[in-house]
Amino acid sequence: MPLTRVSLRKGKSSAYKRAVLDHVYAAMREAFNVPEEDRFMLIDEHDADGFAYSTNYLGIARDDDLVIIQITANNTRTVEQKKALFAAIAEKLGRDPGIRPENIFINLVEVPKENWSFGNGIAQYA
């Protein structure tokens, strides 16, 4: 049920982008108990003029390797699960493809379960 959007600067390899998606999905499976095959993920690539960010907001030094991850999910997770998700994503992406934790920006958007249709015009969770 999570819908994941990853935004980054153009120019990353297919292997890099695949690693980002695979590791974010693995972290969601671990921390949020996302079922196997519940994988709906997009990557949006941007030119420099379409990718604006603060290089030092909250004292965190970011650069052009910033990856913005927005996850829309059901509003059923605890604060502990959310913290575990953020930490797992940072750890996994730090290992592969080698993203600095300062360059991993995560936004979780929570919605009621009835706000999803996975196809056929049916609200499967309503």
Query: Distance between CA 35 and CA 60 in Å, rounded?
Result: 33
Residue at 24 is within a domain: yes
Supply the range of the domain harboring residue 42.
Answer: 3-115
CA distance 6 to 75: 20
| Residue 39 forms part of a structural domain | yes
Of the residues 2, 97, 101, 112, only one is catalytic, namely: 2
Rounded to whole angstroms, the Cα distance separating 68 from 7 reads 5
Which one, of 63, 47, 45, lies nearest residue 105 by Cα? Answer: 63
Instruction: Provide the 8-state DSSP code for 126.
Output: -
Residue 121, in any domain of the structure: no
Give me the numbers of helices (H) and strands (E) for the chain, helices first please.
Answer: 2, 4
Residue 125: inside a domain? no
Q: What is the pLDDT along the chain (126 residues), one digit of tens a residue?
A: 799 999 999 999 999 999 999 999 999 999 999 999 999 999 999 999 999 999 999 999 999 999 999 999 999 999 999 999 999 999 999 999 999 999 999 999 999 999 999 999 999 999
Q: Is residue 29 in a domain? A: yes
- Residue 36 sits in a domain whose CATH number is 3.30.429.10
Q: Does any domain span residue 56?
A: yes
Catalytic, 112? Answer no
Cβ-contact 126, 114 below 8 angstroms:
yes
* Number of domains present in the structure of the chain: 1
Q: What is the pTM of this model?
A: 0.95
